Amino acid sequence: MLISTFMSGEGETIFLANPTDLPLPRVPGAPHPLTDFRLFHMRAAPRCLAKTRRGTECQSPAIKGRKRCRVHGGARGSGAPKGERNGAYRTGEWTGEAVELRHSVGVLIKAVRAVLDDI
């Protein structure tokens, strides 16, 4: 059973097994008892790790399972498209496939040189 804590308006800590365990008698005009519970969990959410132009960290909550908020690239499908669909694509020299090909050719050349040195 998950037990959550939060500070009530009177400054006391309340331990809850379920948010509906709060006392439900309400005073007219008073905030709903679940409001404090929900706000506590929103404030405790992990924050975006992006840096602003001022150099401070972004204050927005990060997308669940990611390190950035929706504005800074945490949303699904964010970022530039890959390959020729990207506006900065020119020759294809720095695509993932081209870089991987150059790397594998370099590894092959090193292996050949090692074999030739043994002869």
HSE, side-chain direction, 13 A CA sphere, residue 6:
21
Helix (H) or strand (E) holding 7: strand 4-7
The DSSP letter of residue 76 is T
Q: What is the pTM of this model?
A: 0.41
Would you say residue 2 has pLDDT above 50? no
Which tens digit of pLDDT belongs to each residue from 55-87?
Answer: 999 989 898 888 889 888 888 877 788 878 888
Residue ranges per structural domain of the chain: 4-24+31-43, 47-76
Compute the mean pLDDT over every residue in the chain, rounded to the nearest whole number: 79
